[in-house]
Amino acid sequence: MKLEMKNPIASLQMLACCSLALAALPSAFGSSAPSSDANREVAIRDITTIEGVRDNMLVGYGLVVGLHGTGDTQQTIFTVQTLANAMQKMGVLISPSAAVVKNVAAVFVTASLPPFARPGAKLDVTVASVGDAHSLEGGVLLMSALRGPDGQVYAEAQGALLLGGYSAGSGTNRKEVNASNVGTIPDGAIIERDTAVDLSGFKTVSLLLHNPDFSTATAVADAVNLEFHKTVASALDSRRVDINVAGASEHSVPQLIARVQNLVLKVHTPAKIVINERTGTIVMGGSVKLSPVSVIHGSLSIQVETAYAVAEAPPNPTAMEYGRGRRGEQGQGSGPQPVLVPETNVSANEGPAQSMKLDEGANVDELVSGLHAIGTTAHDVVAILEAIKAEGGLQAELEVQ
């Protein structure tokens, strides 16, 4: 077969168009195909913490006064005992059994002591009712000592409370918005004890990873060694990376930490799926891959309905004879009485089975799109993912909460 081109200019134009189309074809496929690189660049400060540099929890007990009759009742014994002890320190002796005060509430005071805290710095505190107080609105916290796990006093708290809710009315005619038994005091505590860590004595700076991973720990150590052009860091395990302070030859430990924390490296995102069966929430990482798998999903619903119909009961010969003897042939009570008869209807509806097929290396987008296409709900997705994991087609960790 011989093909003749009568117009050479048109032939050249057609050839050029075909060449452009073929050249654009790989880029089009490349743009729609998901990226195989599951790495992302992050700073070391975002994925690690410094060992020894941490917050500490503080807790205390105190009294909130100035309430408008919404405090603890007399049945809360420890409140009146605390009030009596506080009054005794002020030089006033009262009997706890005789004290009937409704504008006082016993509370717990909590705060978080940040690292490198110095005496005189202020902290935010949270105040929560211990007894049966209705509301802490308008209350003032008396000076309360905040202690650490070792029993030492690290801060003193005092001040007026700020509440995010309110409570009004009493009994059944009562309205409450948010929590009225918990309040905060911004800058309500003053630090009294020095808890700063002396970094100058550190011979080793230890970085602790938020998410333990051997690859990430090794990558952090390699990034540090590359920055200092010598081996100063080593990964001890999947969570800890030690840096030799003397080998780094920095002027101070804070400068060393700042230089290390600003380093950027690629971190591999683990292939993991988190499922909450109670709420139907499913979170899947972008690096989740699937082996070739086919999913067939169908729906079956069974409905049972019970209706009651009115029907006449069959005649009772005994009752008819009794009626004839007392009231004659057409006596009262001899006729049939209406009764309710249950009628049960069972219906079963089974929808057509929907199928979905995933090829080798399918990602999360393809899985989600396929599951939506076959009309699955969140709870159906949970069952399907567990079945795919049991079959071996899910190349990711499946965590069910």
3-class DSSP string for the chain? CCCCCCCHHHHHHHHHHHHHHHHHHHHHHHHHCCCCCCEEEEEHHHHEEECCCCCEEEEEEEEEECCCCCCCCCCCHHHHHHHHHHHHHCCCCCCHHHCCCCCEEEEEEEEEECCCCCCCCEEEEEEEECCCCCCCCCCEEEEEEEECCCCCEEEEEEEECEECCEEEEECCEEEEECCCCEEEEEEEEEECCCCCCCHHHCCEEEEEECCCCHHHHHHHHHHHHHHHCCCCEEECCCCEEEEEHHHHCCCCHHHHHHHHHCCEEEEECCCEEEEECCCCEEEECCCCEECCEEEEECCEEEEEEEEEEEEECCCCHHHHHHHHHHHCCCCCCCCCCEEEEEEEEEEEEECCCEEEEECCCECHHHHHHHHHHCCCCHHHHHHHHHHHHHHCCEECEEEEC
Residue 382 has pLDDT above 80, yes or no: no
Confidence of residue 3 (pLDDT cuts 50, 70, 90): very low
Q: 177-204: per-residue pLDDT in tens?
A: 667 889 999 999 999 998 888 888 889 9
Neighbours of 276 (CB within 10 A): 14
Higher pLDDT, 46 or 325: 46
Confidence of residue 243 (pLDDT cuts 50, 70, 90): very high
- Closest Cα to residue 220, out of 240, 205, 247? 240
Q: Label the pairing between strands 397-400 and 272-276.
A: parallel
Q: Rg of the chain over CA atoms, in angstroms?
A: 38
Q: 91-143: per-residue pLDDT in tens?
A: 888 877 777 788 899 999 999 999 988 999 999 999 999 988 888 988 999 99
> What confidence score (pLDDT) does residue 80 get?
83
Tokens of 43: 């700073």
**How far is 153 from 138, CA to CA, in rounded Å?**
27
Q: What is the pTM of this model?
A: 0.62
Q: For the residues 332-347, what does the mean pLDDT come to?
A: 65
Inter-residue contact 241 to 234 (CB < 8 Å): yes
> What confidence score (pLDDT) does residue 251 get?
87
Q: Cβ-count burial of 179 within 10 angstroms (0-12 exposed, 13-18 middle, 19+ buried)?
A: middle
> What confidence score (pLDDT) does residue 186 get?
94
Residue 27 has pLDDT above 50, yes or no: no
Tokens of 305: 């309905």
CB under 8 A, 24+ apart: contacts of 331-338: 336/312, 337/312, 337/313, 338/310, 338/311, 338/312, 338/313
> What confidence score (pLDDT) does residue 344 get?
67
> What confidence score (pLDDT) does residue 352 get?
66
Confidence of residue 289 (pLDDT cuts 50, 70, 90): confident
Higher pLDDT, 318 or 339: 339
> What confidence score (pLDDT) does residue 178 get?
62
Residue 14 has pLDDT above 90, yes or no: no
**How far is 61 from 345, CA to CA, in rounded Å?**
64
> What confidence score (pLDDT) does residue 148 get?
94
Residue 263 has pLDDT above 70, yes or no: yes
Cα angle 73, 77, 79; round to 5: 70
Q: 71-91: per-residue pLDDT in tens?
A: 888 778 888 888 888 888 888
User: Minimum mean pLDDT among 51-55, 207-211, 320-324, 389-393: which range?
Assistant: 320-324
Higher pLDDT, 382 or 12: 382
Q: 35-52: per-residue pLDDT in tens?
A: 444 457 899 999 999 998
Give me the phi and psi of 84, to 5 degrees please.
-65, -40
Tell me the CB-side half-sphere exposure of residue 226, using CA atoms within 13 A. Answer: 9
**How far is 323 from 333, CA to CA, in rounded Å?**
6
Q: What percent of the chain has pLDDT over 70?
A: 72
Q: For the residues 161-180, what does the mean pLDDT come to?
A: 68
**How far is 101 from 74, CA to CA, in rounded Å?**
8
> What confidence score (pLDDT) does residue 336 get?
64
Q: 348-377: per-residue pLDDT in tens?
A: 566 666 667 767 767 767 777 777 777 777
> What confidence score (pLDDT) does residue 376 get?
74
Q: Look over the chain and give the mean of its residue pLDDT values, rounded to a whole number.
A: 77
